[in-house]
């Protein structure tokens, strides 16, 4: 997907929500476990119910690999279902891959060519030759882990390297390998100063922001300091949407929750999109 297409979708639908597809059979409605492929059925209902409130979907590989072959099959079916039925949605494989050059190339082919994902999340620790192979595919995206939202982000990402934190160095350096047309960054920052510092380095790149939905208030900070002229934000919410309910009406509950977040986004889009 081209950047201009993604921006157009956000403006058209007045939402920059991405729904994270992290299926966990322990949290699904019990009745769905009787289906032949419960994970795919669960996802399909979530996707159909939430598609109008979001501009992207993000399956997290771990939740599929945990179920072995059948899980990987559910993942492939899910991705194909989205590509076929919702081709305008931005499809992120949240795989956090990154390996030496020829191995990263194998991953890039797997996700971009065979599965036709639009984007893959990439761990930067191994440096340039682990990241660059993901930049060699037209209209495909590497989404680099910049500053993650978990507690452990303090351990290394926030270490001082010279006068700045490592994550700023990682973002600056990685940005020099690509463009705002083939690279985005995972930015879990909800602190204004952090977003401000990041936007000074990459004013034009899209940021993938996890974990905002659950904490309501932080959406305001993220928009105030993270939004740019192209919106430049994809905000992901997973569990608070997909497990909003766990009865027969779980998809309806998920849609309500997605709509709620999308509605919260609208005021921040005022002036950026036509009414």
Footprint on this chain of a copy of itself (rule: CB under 8 A):
22, 60, 62-63, 65-69, 72-73, 76, 96-101, 103-104, 106-107, 109-110, 114-115, 123-131, 145, 148-157, 159-162, 166, 169-170, 173
Shortest gap between Cβ of 118 and a copy of itself (angstroms)?
18
DSSP 8-class letter at 41: H
Instruction: Compute the distance between CA of residue 216 and CA of residue 182 in angstroms, rounded to an integer.
Output: 30
Kindly name the residue from 96, 132, 252, 260 that is annotated as catalytic.
96
For the chain, helix, strand, coil in percent to 5 are 50, 20, 30
Nearer Cβ to a copy of itself, position 114 or 224? 114
Shortest gap between Cβ of 172 and a copy of itself (angstroms)?
11
Report the first-to-last Cα separation within the chain, whole angstroms. 25
Nearer Cβ to a copy of itself, position 101 or 272? 101
Nearer Cβ to a copy of itself, position 11 or 239? 239
Helix (H, G, I), strand (E, B) or coil at 18: strand
Give the list of residues 6+ apart from residue 65 with CB closer than 8 angstroms, or none: 71, 72
Give which of 58, 60, 59, 52 is closest to 9, Cα–Cα: 52
Helix (H, G, I), strand (E, B) or coil at 258: helix
Q: How many CA atoms lie within 13 A of 161 on its CB side?
A: 13
Shortest gap between Cβ of 144 and a copy of itself (angstroms)?
10
Shortest gap between Cβ of 270 and a copy of itself (angstroms)?
33
Q: How many CA atoms lie within 13 A of 72 on its CB side?
A: 7
DSSP string, 138-181: TT-EEEEEEE-SSGGGGTTTTSEETTEEHHHHHHHHHHTTS-TT
Nearer Cβ to a copy of itself, position 22 or 230? 22
Shortest gap between Cβ of 264 and a copy of itself (angstroms)?
23
DSSP 8-class letter at 111: I
Shortest gap between Cβ of 79 and a copy of itself (angstroms)?
11
Catalytic site residue 77? no
Q: For 113, phi and psi rounded to 5 degrees?
A: -90, -50
Nearer Cβ to a copy of itself, position 109 or 266? 109
Nearer Cβ to a copy of itself, position 18 or 51? 18
202 burial (CB, 10 Å; 0-12 / 13-18 / 19+) is buried
**Residues taking part in catalysis:** 96
């Amino acid at each position: 997907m081209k950047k201009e297409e993604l921006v157009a979708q956000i403006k058209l639908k007045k939402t920059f929500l991405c729904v994270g597809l992290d299926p966990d059979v322990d949290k699904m409605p019990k009745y769905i476990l009787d289906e032949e492929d419960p994970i795919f059925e669960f996802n399909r209902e979530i996707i159909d119910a939430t598609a109008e409130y979001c501009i992207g979907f993000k399956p997290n590989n771990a939740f599929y690999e945990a179920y072995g072959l059948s899980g990987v099959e559910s993942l492939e079916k899910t991705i194909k279902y989205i590509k076929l039925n919702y081709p305008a949605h931005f499809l992120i494989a949240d795989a956090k891959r990154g390996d030496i050059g020829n191995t990263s190339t194998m991953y890039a082919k797997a996700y971009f060519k065979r599965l036709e994902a639009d984007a893959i999340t990439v761990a930067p620790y191994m440096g340039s030759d682990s990241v660059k192979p993901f930049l060699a595919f037209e209209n495909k995206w590497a989404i680099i882990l910049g500053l993650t939202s978990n507690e452990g982000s303090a351990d290394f990402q926030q270490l001082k390297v010279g006068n700045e934190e490592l994550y700023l160095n990682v973002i600056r350096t990685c940005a020099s390998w690509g463009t705002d047309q083939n690279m985005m960054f995972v930015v879990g920052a909800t602190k204004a100063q952090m977003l401000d510092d990041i936007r000074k380095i990459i004013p034009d790149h899209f940021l993938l922001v996890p974990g905002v939905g659950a904490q309501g208030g932080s959406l305001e900070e993220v928009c105030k300091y993270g939004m740019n002229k192209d919106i430049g934000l994809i905000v992901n919410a997973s569990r608070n949407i997909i497990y909003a309910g766990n009865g027969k009406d779980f998809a309806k509950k998920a849609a309500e929750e997605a709509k709620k977040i999308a509605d919260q986004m609208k005021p921040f889009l005022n002036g950026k999109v036509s009414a």
